[in-house]
Structure 1
Amino acid sequence: MTSHVAIAQADVEVRRLTVDDLDLFREIRAEALQKYPQTFGSPEEDEGGEAMLMAYRHWLSGTILGAFESGSLIGVAGLHVSPYKRSQHRGQIFTVYVRENDQGKGVGDRLIKEILAHAEARVEQVHLAVLLTATAAIKIYKRNGFEVYGTDPGAIRIGDITYDQYLMMKKFIR
C-alpha cells in the first residue's frame, strides 16, 4: 500500500534554483517572512528594495533547492559554505520553508535529504539554527541525523519579544 506522503513526494520535483527563479524565490520568501517573521529575515530584507534583490541574487548564485509541484514553487532550502579556507569544512543550512498548504506531505523532509546529499560531497558537517517552538522542523532535522548541541537564548528579537533557538549539527561519517 502506498502512503499519502510517498504519493506527494513522487509528484514533487526538486531542483537547484538560479537567478532566473528570482521572482519565484521572492514570492515564497515574502510569504515566509510574513507568516514567520521570528524565523526568517535578513538585514537586506529589512532594508528592502535593491539591497534585498541584490542579496537574493547572491543567494541564488549559491545553493538553494526548490521543490516544485505542478510547476509551482512550494518549498525551499539553502546551503551556504564559507569561502574562507578555515571554515570550508562546515556548511550552514538556511531558509528552509514549505508553504503551509504543502506541509505534512514530506516535502520538507525531501528538501533536507537532498540538501544533505549535496552538502556531503562538499563539507564534513552541517549546522543550522531553529526556533525551540518549531517542533515539526526539529523532528525532521532529528530524523535526518541532526543533534542539538546548544541553545541560543534570545537569538531573535521582534519588538519586545525574544525567541530562543536550538543550534543543531550533523556530522558526515567518512
Structure 2
Amino acid sequence: MIRQLGPDDMQVFRQIRLEALRNEPANFASSAADWEALPDAEWTRRLTVNAVFVDFHEGEPVAIMGLMPQTASKMAHRGTVIMVYVRKGRRGGGHAKAILDMLVAHALQAGIRQLELAVSAENPSAIRFYQREGFTQAGRIQGGTIHEGREIDEILMTRRIVGGASAQ
C-alpha cells in the first residue's frame, strides 16, 4: 500500500529515511548523521513542504520517494525527485515504479510539467530504472558528492510529464 505521508507520520518518515541513509550511504547527498541531528520540527517541516510517498508491505515501510517542487514562479512547473530508496529485500518487486506512478499523478495535479533528479553514477540499476521510466540524461556533475573521501559523479536526468515528445 502506497500513501502520501502527512505531518502525523513523522516517525514513519524518520524510520525509512534513516534506513535508506544508513544502508546506502554512497547513493545520497545527505548522510545519516545529517538527518539524525535534525530536531523533530525540521523532520515535520521536510515532510510537509515536500510530497513524501511511502510504500508499505505488511505494515512496514519498505520504500520511499519524495517530490520537491521548485518555488520560483518561473520554475514552478518543475519538481525534483528526492529520497528514492527501496529496501534491499524488496527490490525488483515494482515498489519504485508504483511510487513513481503515484508521484507523477501528484505532480500533474500540482501543475508540474517536468521531473528532475540526480542519481549516483555508481548506481547503474537506478539509472536503468529511470531510463525505463522515460528519464533522459541531461548532464553530469563530476565529483557531485564525496563519500568516504572519494568523489562520486552525479547523473542529472529529466522527464517531461506534460507536453513534448518524451511525456508519458
With normalisation by structure 1, the TM-score equals 0.84
Quote the Cα distance in structure 1 between the aligned partners of 2:81 and 2:137.
14
Paired letter, 2:86: V
Partner of 1:119: 107
Is the 2:5–2:54 Cα contact (8 Å) retained in structure 1? yes
One-letter code aligned to 1:22: M
Question: Following the alignment from structure 1 to structure 2, what is the Cα–Cα distance between the partners of residues 69 and 83?
Answer: 33
- For residues 33 and 27 of structure 1, the distance between their equivalents in structure 2, rounded to whole angstroms, comes to 10
Aligned ranges 1:1-174 → 2 under 5 Å: 13-42=1-30, 45-46=33-34, 48-49=36-37, 51-61=38-48, 62-121=50-109, 122-174=111-163
**Conserved 8 A contact 1:155-1:163:** yes
Asked if 2 retains the 8 angstrom alpha-carbon contact of 1:77 and 1:94, the reply is yes
Structure 1 residue ranges without an equivalent (≥5): 1-12
Q: 2-side partners of 1:115 and 1:37: how far apart?
A: 24
Deviation at 1:78, TM superposition (A): 0.3
CA distance in 2, matches of 1:78, 1:20: 17
Which structure 2 segments of 5+ residues have no match? 164-168
Assess, with a 3 A threshold, how the Cα gap between structure 1 residues 112 and 101 changes in structure 2: closer, same or farther.
Answer: same
What percentage of residue pairs aligned between the two structures are identical? 29
Contact 1:131 1:166 in 2 (8 A): yes
Instruction: Specify the code of the residue in structure 2 equivalent to 1:163.
Output: I
Say if 2:135 and 2:158, in contact at 8 Å, map to a contact too.
Answer: yes
3-state DSSP of counterpart to 1:137: helix
Residues 25-79 of structure 1: CA deviation (Å, up to 9, x unaligned):
1111111111222222538952743x35333211211300110111111111000
Question: In the alignment, which residue of structure 2 is the partner of 1:3?
Answer: none
> Given the superposition, is the C-alpha separation of residues 43 and 101 from structure 1 closer, same or farther in structure 2, using an over 3 Å criterion?
closer
Query: Number of aligned pairs?
Result: 161
Letter of the 1:153 partner, please give it.
Q
Return the TM-score normalized by structure 2.
0.87
- For residue 58 of structure 2, what is the amino acid of its counterpart? S
